[in-house]
Amino acid sequence: MAEVSGSTTPSSRQGDQRRARFDWAGLRADLRGAVPDASLALVVTGLLYWLLYVRVENGSSATVKIMPMLADADEFWMYWMCQAFGWSAMLWAYITVIFGLLRSGPRPRWGWLPAARLEKWHRTTSLTTIGLTFMHAFFFFTDQIRDNQTRWSFGRSVWTAFVDVWVPGGYATGTGRVAILIGLLAFYLAIPLGLAFYLRHRTGSRLWLALHRFVIVVYVLSIWHTLLFSSQAWYDGSFRTLLWVLQIPLAALLLIRLMAPARPGERLRARGPGRREHALPVGARVAGRLAAAATVVGLVTVVVTGVDGGRSPDAGSLAPWPEKWVIWVGLLLFTLAVVAVVLRLRPRATAASRPATPAEGRAEESADLA
Ligand code: HEM
């Protein structure tokens, strides 16, 4: 294997520049590709907004039952927008995770859904999810400014809303002090873990794929945030149960994806050629499968027993669990795991270890999947 020599030719310099760059062209193409599903997401958000608005008007709003001061549908429109974008973000997150798991697991044999189309849909719906989440938090931000202005100057209102909404740990009261922290971590983690794809020519396909696997944590944080904070699912009841039930197929799909991965290198083989090349040690891959199986069992148990964290209208408000420090410790452990993977898989500085061009990179990924 030849080492890269000190002297570089113009074409190898161009290749290096291409590798070092963020794949803006790829991102632009995917953003263009996301226009249809983002448009559909906006239509869905509009319908959800209308539903939330009508329920406030006719007195059946779950939110108003918990927060009677929000009973004016017109005055609090930004809050309904926040809620509507929250639900469309959650729906799109669900859909994009399904596409991703189908793409990297035992792919469906339907002719109309080849792997390339699944992957494209996964990429576009995940970009749309990030956009919807931003809009969800943005409308919360604008609503907070509105609320703050009933007490303070414009400058102080904007600053306080900024800290409360965009700074992790900034929101200091009620269930939101935990739920908003979890939501913000989901949002902020989605950006690097999702967009690492566009750095794959620099990181090498093994590293970005390994980093991308951590993205499931974003979904877990999102649904956790929803179950903790949603005023529609605040109390025990059929809607809250439905949210839990919907997680079962997703967890089952994750388990199937881990048991029957599309990439031969991810199958459980402790022996045989190439075993040293695996991105994850066998122990970690066994642990992943056990965790997914335990999640399926745990979800079924929650649904069957009905012990799903819902509140009762008769009981007083419960302190949110866990405390914030538990989440910070979790984030620290998560970061250490990501750093360990980066150190283990970072590309060597040899010409052979990285694809020279995007086209070669794609060929390498396809070979990986063959
Ligand atoms: C991936 C990230 C996120 C997802 C998928 C998500 C999704 C949701 C969903 C589905 C709800 C329930 C809405 C309802 O009950 O009507 C919700 C509630 C809420 N979220 Fe998020 N969220 C995320 C991040 C954030 C962030 C970053 C913030 C603010 C910084 C935030 C603020 C809120 C607020 C204030 C509520 C309460 C709305 C209510 O009264 O029900 N969320 N979120």
The CB of 225 under 6 Å from ligand 1? The reply is: yes
- Beta carbons of 294 and 260 less than 8 angstroms apart: no
Q: CA 13, CA 128: separation in Å to the nearest integer? A: 35
Ligand 1 close to Cβ of residue 95 (< 6 A):
no
Ligand 1 atom at minimum distance from 90 CA: 5
d(CA 196, CA 218): 14
Q: Calculate mean pLDDT across residues 57-82.
A: 97
pLDDT at 75 exceeding the cut of 90:
yes
For ligand 1, what atom is nearest to the CA of residue 93? 5
* Nearest in space to 105 (alpha carbons), one of 246, 213, 247, 263: 263
Q: Ligand 1 within 6 A of 45 CB? A: no
Does ligand 1 come within 6 angstroms of the Cβ of 205?
no
Angle among Cα 287, 292, 295 to the nearest 5 degrees reads 125
pLDDT tens digits, 202-254? 888 889 999 999 999 999 999 999 999 999 999 999 999 999 999 999 999 99
Residue ranges covered by each domain of the chain: 23-166
H/E stretch holding 157 reads helix 154-166
Mapping DSSP to helix (H, G, I), strand (E, B) and coil, where does residue 54 land? helix
Task: Judge whether 267 and 261 are in contact, CB under 8 Å.
Answer: yes
| 351 vs 50 pLDDT, higher one | 50
Contact in structure between 190 and 130 (CB atoms under 8 Å):
yes
Q: Is 209 in the pocket of ligand 1 (CB under 6 A)?
A: no
| Residue among 56, 82, 216, 242 whose CB has most ligand 1 atoms within 8 A, to mutate | 82
Q: Report the nearest atom of ligand 1 relative to the CA of 232.
A: 15
Residue nearest to atom 35 of ligand 1 (CA): 140
- Cβ–ligand 1 distance for 103 under 6 Å, the answer no
What's the pLDDT tens digit per position in 77-93? 999 999 999 999 999 99
Query: Omega into 192 within 30° of 0, i.e. cis?
Result: no
In DSSP terms, 311 is beta-bridged to: 235
pTM for the whole thing?
0.89
How many angstroms does the Cα of residue 87 sit away from the middle of ligand 1?
A: 8
Residues of the chain above pLDDT 90, percent: 70
Q: Is the CB of 232 under 6 A from ligand 1?
A: yes
Determine the Cα–Cα distance for residues 233 and 223; give it in Å rounded to an integer. 12
Is residue 33 predicted with pLDDT exceeding 90? yes
Q: Does residue 327 line the site of ligand 1, with CB under 6 A?
A: no
Lowest-pLDDT choice from 181-195, 216-230, 269-283, 354-368: 354-368
CA angle 9, 11, 13 (to 5 degrees): 70
CA 81 vs. chain centroid, Å, equals 20
Chain segment 160-213, per-residue pLDDT in tens: 999 999 999 999 999 999 999 999 999 999 999 999 999 998 888 889 999 999
173 contact partners, CB below 8 Å, separation of at least 6: none
